[in-house]
Amino acid sequence: MARIYKQTYTKPLPEGAELFTRKGQEFARWTPKRGRPRTAPVARDANDQPRIRLESARYMAEYRDGQGILQQVATGCRDKTAAQAVLNDLLKRAERVRGNLVSADDDAAMDHQHTELTVVLVDYLGHLRAKGRSAKHIADCERLVGRAFDECGFTRLRDVTGEPLERWLTRLTDQGSSPRTRNSYLQAVRGFCRWCVSSGRLTSDPTKRIGKLNEATDIRRQRRSLTTNELARLLYAARWRPLAERGRKSVPADNPKGRKSWKLAPLTLATLDDCVERARTKLTDKPEQLAELECLGRQRALIYKTLVLTGLRRGELGSLTIGSVVLDMAAPYLVLDAANAKNHQRAELPLRRDLAEDIAAWIAERREAQQGPADV
């Protein structure tokens, strides 16, 4: 039998409460610090200690759903008539399921339609964390999905539909965004919607009819491998730039304003060596600063060289420590833990002999400079 009711709960006796009996029922009477005197029934706990029994402010609804399962649902209503209206709506939904007018899954999804998207998105991001997705992937999903929903005007789950999303994606393309950018937004929203379907929040994916664009037709940045000469110049520039920055000449500004009548000359590969020598001259009386800049240059060059020769990503290289480097073997290698790899698989990356020697020299230098283990 369906009904509405108020849940009861117990609390310790208020300070100064007076117990009395009326018609065989024990009651407590007390006066709050602010308000009128109050009276409530008394219940005894397992230790026979008196506690006042109170009712919740809002009504609950009890009924059997379309599958015959007894449900207890908070109506959120203080008014009995309003609570009864909520119960009547629940009973109508149960009848529609029993009459095969809607499926049980469709009926369950209706409970989420009014949920704010900010709440659902938090749950989705929690799901991604539970799956072990990287912090960058989660942040990208939050940024892409959040912007798409904001600019489409979606505020609740029921608002997420394919047509306005497709129009917004078209506007992105018209405004000059590449197919890759447009597809990134679509993929992020599609992942969110598919999770909503699998978790029972949606009955279907509203993005399933929206197709991806062919990214090969509009490549904004053509990726290619560096030539041997380009790589050599990159490593040379990385090695000496920190020091060369201190040797840049001051030249008159093109359009001087106020005190900004001078600027630093551009640093190019052609002027790099002269700037390095000029910096050495400037820092003759500051040997510690000179050594620090030279050390920074060696570190940068080693980072670039390691990235090129191992194929590691920046974040993967940043996760390596001294313990990740194995140099005392016939074939030296780096160990990348599964937790730090993009594919979540442990890897042993062989090192070319010259790179292994550079890493060994860097480790020895850092150990000499400071006590204890240091990051690579």
What are the tens digits of pLDDT across the range 358-373? Answer: 999 999 988 888 764 4
Number of domains in the chain: 2
Does 25 share its domain with 95?
Answer: yes
Does 64 share its domain with 141?
Answer: no
pLDDT score for 46: 87
% of the chain beyond a pLDDT of 90? 59
Does 2 share its domain with 83?
Answer: yes
pLDDT score for 342: 83
Residue 258 has pLDDT above 80, yes or no: no
Does 4 share its domain with 95?
Answer: yes
pLDDT band for position 259 (50/70/90)? low
pLDDT score for 305: 95
Residue 376 has pLDDT above 60, yes or no: no
Over residues 167-206, the pLDDT tens digits come to 999 999 999 999 999 999 999 999 999 999 999 888 889 9
Does 132 share its domain with 210?
Answer: yes
Last residue within a domain, chosen from 216, 238, 255: 216
Last residue within a domain, chosen from 183, 216, 249: 216
In terms of pLDDT, which residue wins out, 240 or 113?
A: 240
pLDDT score for 232: 94
The answer to whether position 295 is within a domain reads no
Residue 263 has pLDDT above 90, yes or no: no
pLDDT score for 165: 96
Averaged pLDDT for residues 302-313: 94
pLDDT score for 287: 92
Does 61 share its domain with 138?
Answer: no
pLDDT score for 60: 92
pLDDT score for 214: 87
The answer to whether position 356 is within a domain reads no
pLDDT score for 82: 94
| CATH assignment at residue 205 | 1.10.150.130
Over residues 7-57, the pLDDT tens digits come to 999 999 888 888 999 989 999 999 988 888 989 999 988 888 999 999 899
Does 10 share its domain with 86?
Answer: yes
Give me the domain span that covers residue 65.
1-101
The torsion angle over the Cα atoms of residues 73, 78, 84 and 88, rounded to 10 degrees, is: -50
**3-class SS string, the chain:** CCEEECCEEEEECCCCCEEEEECCEEEEEECCCCCCCEEEEEEECCCCCEEEEEECCCCEEEEECCCCCEEEEECCCCCHHHHHHHHHHHHHHHHHHHCCCCCHHHHHHHHHCCCEHHHHHHHHHHHHHHCCCCHHHHHHHHHHHHHHHHHHCCCEHHHCCHHHHHHHHHHHHHCCCCHHHHHHHHHHHHHHHHHHHHCCCCCCCCCCCCCCCCHHHCCCCCCCCCCHHHHHHHHHHHHHHHHHHHHCCEEEEEEEECCEEEEECCCCCCCHHHHHHHHHHHCCCCHHHHHHHHHHHHHHHHHHHHHHHHCCCHHHHHCCEHHHEECCCCCCEEEECHHHCCCCCCEEEECCHHHHHHHHHHHHHHHHHCCCCCEC
pLDDT band for position 269 (50/70/90)? very high
Does 73 share its domain with 144?
Answer: no
The answer to whether position 97 is within a domain reads yes
pLDDT score for 271: 93
The answer to whether position 150 is within a domain reads yes
Does 148 share its domain with 96?
Answer: no
Residue with tokens 């990208």: 140
pLDDT score for 134: 85
Last residue within a domain, chosen from 41, 70, 101: 101
